[in-house]
A and B are shown apart, each in its own frame.
Chain A
Amino acid sequence: MLEIAVRHAFHGFSLDVAFDAPPGVTVLFGRSGSGKTTIVNAVAGLLTPDAGRIVLGKRTLFDSERRIGLPPHRRRLGYIFQEGRLFPHLTVRQNLRYGAWFAPGSSPSDGIDRVVDLLGIGHLLDRRPGALSGGEKQRVAIGRALLASPGLVLADEPLASLDEAHKAEILPYFERLRDETSVPILYVSHSASEVARLATTVVALEAGQVIRQGSAADILGDPAILPTGAREAGAILTAKVSVHHPDGLTELDAGGTPMFLPRIAQPPGSAVRIRIAAHDVILARARPQGLSALNILSGTVREVRTGEGPGAIVALDTDAGRLLARVTRRSADTLGLSAGAAVHAVIKAVSIAPADIGSGFPDA
């Protein structure tokens, strides 16, 4: 458990947050400039906040009232930076061992094998960082942070500098990290996909304030909290893989409702989390007939939110879970969408991107 209460002001920006991060992945979610990195740097000790308290388990890392402020090297954290920050003059193996060297009582030799295995970087050990691709560098950076035997892993947009292919390559490692180790992770992101796949808890930030804290499904399913704008909106459904059909589709059981997706890798019986982008959801008052879309979920409208623009976000409760749909205000008016109205949500199977499907989620 990580307890954070931090106040800090600089360059016309002020941060004032207080939240607890339970075990698992806590995602700090918000657009750039919302204070995410400042919080992580305060936890790491790279920035001394004006006031506050940061406690990890039983260890007080910072307490302005008691004048406690551990220097970064005594906090025992693993910080995964956005740009990797591997040591260019050391080999991959030396980079990986770097933290273990300073961590008393750790046993790097067996730990290094396990982490190298987890990250699939065995063939890179004798190279130098200059000879690695972006994705490889980031995997080594993850390994280096883990091998410092950290009590907490900090990850500051570790995928932001990577292209989509490399993101897809790294995300599963964070999922395994979350599921196979007990180290809590504080993860900074402005990507709804990453939140959907990784988050145990989400702390939504805006202009240096916590606007809401909750589960990924709660935060992403709430149309009032769209830290990255309506364009990025999308709710999360949790489901179980039922069967892989021979025609290339995977059938899921989402709260008793069958759903179809293009084939995914997870075996039958495993739990998955799917982020359904709000702009991929079509709403109909009557159950549509003769439609190519495979997924039709019925539910009731919970809330319709309109802003300045021509769009509206409709939140609806279905048997499968909370969904968000992005429609025009005109459609919302024509269909008479308001709280309590019965609707059918239509989702094309092929519109669900593989990057939005997360696996192995323990609480799913």
Chain B
Amino acid sequence: MNWLGPEEWTAVALSLQVSFWATLVSLPFGVLAAHALARWTFPGKQLLNGIVHLPLVLPPVVTGYILLLAFGMHGPVGGFLSEAGIVFAFRWTGAALAAGVMAFPLMVRAIRLSIEAVDPKLEQASATLGASPLWVFLTVTLPMALPGIIAGAILAFAKAMGEFGATITFVSNIPGQTRTIPSAIYAFLQVPGGEGPAIRLVLVSVAVAMAALLLSEVIGRRVAARVGGR
């Protein structure tokens, strides 16, 4: 990989790290939110739906600024967490938080669709066989929705790889700390002679995105065949 300079290589590694953790940590919340939106009835459901979808419709800069206000060193959440040793501001963890928040609506939408596609009659059958609601979810709903969950996770990963606006607003553009691929491309384009590295990072971006899509297709098909009972 010597065609990538050390600076570029750092950006690629950081992007993968940020996206991986953003996806992994948000996945349980995504499944929970999707299940709640697909199956539960509770007051404030539309409010939850709105909050989940907000990052999709807000300008990314606005989302980033809200994160900065809330999770910055002096923000209400950030201040509290920093006393516990968890710092988001101007760290790669902050980049991961921004990427996770921005990818969340896409993830929830994909998972929600797949949960809604699970036949409630199977969940009823599971309950009559003695499974409590939690076990119904773990043994029937979750495995049957697995193709959609995987698709949602990969979609979220790809989205996190490309997150720019919220990230740069929230945690700036610090080499080795918060300079992910999009931020690096942006930075290279600001200096004379930066087109070369920028093009190379663009190619990496395209390759990662294509790989993610192919992977999601292959895994999705395999899981769907298994869940389909053949």
Contact = CB atoms under 8 A, between A and B. Distances in A.
Interface of A: 44-46, 71-79, 81, 83, 85-89, 98-99, 101-103, 128-131, 144-145, 148, 154
Contacts of A131: 229-230
A72 B128 contact: yes
B129 A148 contact: yes
Nearest to A98: B129
Given A46-B128, A86-B229, 5 more contacts: A73-B133, A78-B128, A79-B129, A89-B229, A145-B129
Interface residues of B, number: 23
A71 B127 contact: yes
B131 interface: yes
Interface stretch (B118-126, B162-170, B206-214): B118-126
A137 to B, nearest CB: 10
Report the 10 A-B pairs with minimum CB-CB distance, sorted nearest first: A102-B130, A130-B229, A88-B229, A99-B129, A72-B127, A79-B128, A85-B125, A128-B229, A89-B227, A130-B230
A76 B130 contact: yes
Name, among A72, A78, A101, A131, the residue most crowded by chain B CB atoms within 10 Å (CB to CB). A72
A71 B123 CA distance: 13
Interface centre among A45, A71, A88 (most CB of B within 10 A): A88
A228 B182 CA distance: 72
Nearest to B130: A102
Nearest to B223: A89
Contact of A88 (B127, B128, B131, B227): B227
Contacts of B228: 88, 130
A102 B227 CA distance: 22
A264 B21 CA distance: 70
Nearest to B227: A89
A44 B124 CA distance: 10
Contact of B130 (A83, A86, A103, A128): A103
A92 to B, nearest CB: 10
A98 B127 contact: no
Contacts of B133: 73
A75 B131 CA distance: 11
Contacts of A46: 124, 127-128
Contacts of B230: 128, 130-131
Given A73-B130, A130-B228, A89 B125 contact: no
Contacts of B135: 73, 102
A140 B193 CA distance: 70
Given A89-B226, A128-B230, A130-B230, A81 B125 contact: yes
B56 interface: no
Contacts of B226: 89
Contacts of A75: 128
B9 to A, nearest CB: 42
B73 interface: no
A89 B130 contact: no
Contacts of A101: 130
Contacts of B127: 45-46, 71-73
A89 B143 contact: yes
A287 B129 CA distance: 58
Q: Which among A83, A89, A99, A145 has the greatest number of chain B C-beta atoms within 10 A?
A: A89
Contacts of A73: 127-133, 135-136
Nearest to B132: A73
Interface in B141-166: 143-144
